[in-house]
Amino acid sequence: MHAQRKHPGIELRRSRSGQVSYRAEAFDSRAERRVYKTFPTLAAAKAWRQDMQVAIRSGKFTGARTPTLAEAADALIEGMRNGTIRNRKGEPYKPSVARSYRRAFDKRLLPEFGNRPISDLRRRDVQALIDKLAADGLDGSTIRNTLDPLRVIYRWALTREQVSMSPTTNLEVPAPEGKRERIASPVEAAALIAALPVEQRGLWATAMYAGLRRGELRGLRWGDVDLASGVIRVERGWDAKEGEIAGKTRAARRTVPITAVLRDFLTEHRMSGESDADALVFGTTDLDPFDPATVRRRAWRAWKAAGLEPIGFHESRHTFASIGIAAGVNAKALSTYMGHASVTITYDRYGHLMPGNESEATGLLDAYLLRAGEGQSRGSDAPTTADRGGPERNGGEVATWLPVRDSAT
């Protein structure tokens, strides 16, 4: 290969076949080493050299070798498992999250970028992968889940100055498909539970009337259930591979009220089996938790036989949240019972009203406007209906208008 230098810090190279390339170099005085990179065009080589010189002067480039994505992925998963790498809130990752990140790396990220240093990856590279996954038919949620471990790697690398920028920002990612979650009405929830064999009713009642996650149901012990005080203390969960684990977050470790209907089901369930404090509420006597697939399969058979639409554990959690919202439970309290980190999560995820509640909301609004209008009309200088919009009685019916601006003002 023939090489010649026509521009400072940039070497023109020509292969035997006549192909031209440009190798740019920058000198890091701190590390006392030169950094090289080859580009197909002179403009790209100049731009890289200028950016690198700025990064070296500002201290954003250390000259140290950055790991490949495959190496960074291994380090991330190991750190998640031993607790040295934590989430934004400083809490350890669940084992299931580490496993899902490992799958995303192995299935989609490493085949594309595994051998590349993380400092070399650019936004255009990640966007090209997103476009490819979308063209292959993957939905927005799957693509976002694929990018999550990549975002964590670059967040970690940025704080340790291994990279000067993250290629995971300002990306165009398909929006998740907005499918409506299944929710059972209070009447339907009661019918679903009643259709089950007696030994299964306590489990599904706790899912629908207390909103515990599937892992929390599997890890629940009788020592966590205080029927006298009417509360369930959620202290732990259950991982399919790791077994018993601590609560998902600080918010996940919480106290949930036991409603009267749930107390009846739990009391009946306790009388039918092991009730020592250390015994699993919905497990077997040897402290093995229930198998979700087996439990769900048995329940679905019972519901199909009764002509009812089946429901899952996560949908039962949706049901509890929506019933709480429809019943007017304080938003902050409901957020706590759900184990959410903030009330915003609760309303973003479960804020939709139960089907049929529109008429109830209309009644409440009409009653409020009526009371407000009557209170105003009793005042000494209250304007008449003709002066401003307001309620008017006509044959026992109430009509309301929105206030209108006086044309003279």
Residues 391, 370 contacting (CB under 8 angstroms) = yes
For 65-87, the pLDDT digits (tens) are: 688 999 999 999 999 999 899 88
State the Cα–Cα distance between residues 192 and 243, nearest whole angstrom. Answer: 29
β-bridge mates for residue 256, sequence order: 232
CA atoms within 13 A on the CB side of 289: 22
Residues above pLDDT 90, as percent of the chain: 43
Give bridge partners of residue 43 from the DSSP assignment. none
The whole-angstrom separation of Cα 292 and Cα 382 is 64
What mean pLDDT is predicted for residues 177-184?
74
| Dihedrals phi, psi of 404, to nearest 5 degrees | -115, 150
Q: CA dist 70 to 65, 80, 109, 129, Å?
A: 14, 15, 9, 16
Confidence check: pLDDT of 407 > 50: no
pLDDT for residue 399: 32
Q: Provide CATH code, domain 69-159.
A: 1.10.150
- Cα distances from 312 to residues 22, 165, 181, 184, 214, in angstroms, run 59, 42, 10, 11, 10
Least trusted range by pLDDT, from 30-34, 244-248, 269-273, 306-310: 30-34
Nearest to 158 by CA among 77, 81, 62, 84: 62
pLDDT of residue 224: 94
Answer whether residue 358 shows pLDDT above 80: no
Contact 252, 199 (CB under 8 A): no
**Calpha distance 89→283 (Å, rounded):** 32
Instruction: Give pLDDT, residue 397.
Output: 37
Q: Which two tokens stand for residue 87?
A: 């989430």
The pLDDT score that the predictor gives to residue 69 is: 95
Instruction: Tell me, rounded to whole angstroms, the distance of Cα 31 from its chain centroid.
Output: 42
> Which of 4-8, 242-246, 388-392, 401-405 is the least confident region?
401-405
Q: Which of 2-6, 132-136, 365-369 has the highest mean pLDDT?
A: 132-136
The predicted model gives 116-130 an average pLDDT of 93
Of 143-157, 237-251, 255-269, 367-381, which gets the smallest average pLDDT? 367-381
55 DSSP 8-state letter: H
Asked if residue 149 lies in contact with residue 126, where contact means CB atoms within 8 angstroms, the answer is no
In this predicted structure, what is the pLDDT of residue 194? 97
pLDDT band of residue 297 (cuts 50, 70, 90) is very high
User: Can you tell me the distance from the alpha carbon of 64 to that of 170, in angstroms, rounded to the nearest whole number?
Assistant: 27
- 136 or 55: whose pLDDT is higher? 136
Question: What local confidence, expressed as pLDDT, does residue 369 receive?
Answer: 84
pLDDT of residue 376: 65
List, for residues 379-406, the tens digit of each pLDDT value.
545 444 344 344 333 333 333 333 333 3
Report the chain's mean pLDDT, rounded to a whole number. Answer: 82
Where in the chain are the domains?
A: 2-58, 69-159, 186-350, 357-399
Lowest-confidence segment of 78-82, 130-134, 358-362, 393-397 by average pLDDT: 393-397
Taking CA atoms, 142 is separated from 102, 129, 138, in Å, by 14, 13, 6
| Residue 354, pLDDT above cutoff 70 | no
Phi, psi of 333, rounded to the nearest 5 degrees? -65, -45
Give Dmax (Cα) for the chain. 100
Q: 186-350 architecture in CATH? A: Orthogonal Bundle (1.10)
Pairing of strands 392-394, 254-257: unpaired
Coil, helix or strand for 4?
A: strand
For range 156-161, the mean pLDDT: 84
Q: Tell me: the pLDDT tens digits for 207-228?
A: 999 999 999 999 999 999 999 9
